[in-house]
Amino acid sequence: MMQSNLIQSQKMESIGKLAGGIAHDFNNILTTIIGRSDLILMDSAADEEIRENISEIKKSARRAASLTRQLLAFSRKQVLQPEIVNLNELILDIKKMLRILISEDIELSTNLSSSLGLIKVDPGQIVQVIMNLLINARDAMPNGGRIMIETENTYLDEFSRNFHPEIVPGQYVMLAVSDTGYGMNEETLKKVFEPFFSKKEAGKGTGLGLATVYGIVKQSGGYIYAYSELKFGTTFKIYLPETPEPANGVKEEPGNQKAFSGSERILFVEDDDDLRETTCKMLKGLGYTLCQAGSGEEALKKSQADQNGKIDLLITDIVMPGMNGRELADGFLARSPDLKVLFISGYTDDIIAHHGVLEERISFLAKPFSIYDLACKIRKILDEPGVRNMRA
């Protein structure tokens, strides 16, 4: 059984690497599509019918972006921005939304343990995990049934490793989602987390739902297991490490998020020619003074030869041939410690993140992004007081 688990783990890892690479390249293309759409929509002289068609193109690109996010979640190449959260509170906050996802003939109930330990996770990604599991349970009960969401504190010990050798013993918070649906046989159960595997009818679903859940849980440092019998339903159990860190303080309400323009001097570095050209047009349209480069080496040369004034913001892709974005930023910060930096990428490749978890004080914008996303992020960074040193 241990050998079978190892082979399955290696298989999932290989598929994950392929999925991450595809998603990274596809996100570059989607950023160009969304950016070009925004540029046309910004043109007040554009014909109304053209604007309507462009808006539909942008909506389709956004839908495609949601698929790449699922690929990145499966491949564990997305950026997680973790917070200290209470899983019970997270579930109660979204319970009304979860109720909307299922039909009226399905009963949704919860059994949440009191004094539940805290976990350090990206709350948005955990919400996606819960929603995907709920949708999977709903689809397994076309004639109605019951879904139960449970939480509890648990300790995984050495004995647990007899069944799951990958487990690191310790204190965990367990999340279980159970249904009374038609269940799965042993053969289906072995494939349940594989991408593009689905028991649904052709044209329904992407086959990425449970693979996405698997990727998010693994990237969050947890484990997920499925238990099922035909005609007796299915249970998914997720174990997330309990954290000793105290809960986060109360968050400030976000301010007005309109897309601000500016006149500061920006150096933009991106090796994809189409994406670089599109983003430069977006930045110029926002009023910024712009320098651009297709590689880290070119950016350093241009900066050394340019005597026209200091750079206010460096925006750089992370994954580039030769010098990567982190190395480039470190080179600039060695000369200008006050320089502000914004990293962009389809995935992190652990250059600015440790196993996909964003380091503190680092500004990051995930591809694909719109001109609104870019404008808001830039203003937030430039208007932030104090030094923002990005070096490790």
Q: Angle at the Cα of 335 (from 331 to 339), degrees rounded to 5?
A: 85
Mean pLDDT of 234-254: 73
* CA 9 to each of CA 73, 145, 191, 350: distance values in angstroms, whole numbers, following the listed order: 16, 33, 11, 21
Encode pLDDT of 213-226 as tens digits. 888 898 889 999 99
Encode pLDDT of 346-391 as tens digits. 765 555 565 455 565 678 888 888 888 899 889 989 987 654 444 4
Encode pLDDT of 32-62 as tens digits. 898 888 888 877 677 888 888 888 888 888 7
Within a 13 Å sphere around the CA of 30, how many CA atoms are in the beta-carbon half? 25
Q: Per mean pLDDT, which range of 12-26, 42-56, 275-289 is the poorest?
A: 12-26
Q: The domain 2-75: what is its CATH number?
A: 1.10.287
Instruction: Judge whether residue 16 has pLDDT over 60.
Output: no
> pTM of the full predicted structure?
0.52
Q: How far apart are CA 42 and CA 59, in angstroms?
A: 16
183: three-class secondary structure by DSSP: coil
CATH topology of domain 265-382: Rossmann fold (3.40.50)
pLDDT band at 72 (very low <50, low <70, confident <90, very high): low
Query: What mean pLDDT, rounded, does the chain reach?
Result: 79
Q: Which CATH number fits domain 87-241: 3.40.50.920, 3.40.50.300, 3.90.79.10, 3.30.565.10?
A: 3.30.565.10
181: three-class secondary structure by DSSP: coil
Whether 72 contacts 23, CB under 8 Å: yes
Per-residue DSSP letters for 125-136?
Answer: HHHHHHHHHHHH
How much is the pLDDT for 388?
47
Mean pLDDT of 58-81: 65
How much is the pLDDT for 240?
96
Whether 302 contacts 293, CB under 8 Å: yes
Q: Per mean pLDDT, which range of 25-34, 104-113, 125-134, 383-392 is the poorest?
A: 383-392
Provide the residue ranges of all domains of the chain, joining segments of one domain with +: 2-75, 87-241, 265-382
Could you tell me the two tokens for 187? 């053969």
Mean pLDDT of 103-132: 89
Could you tell me the two tokens for 2? 């241990």
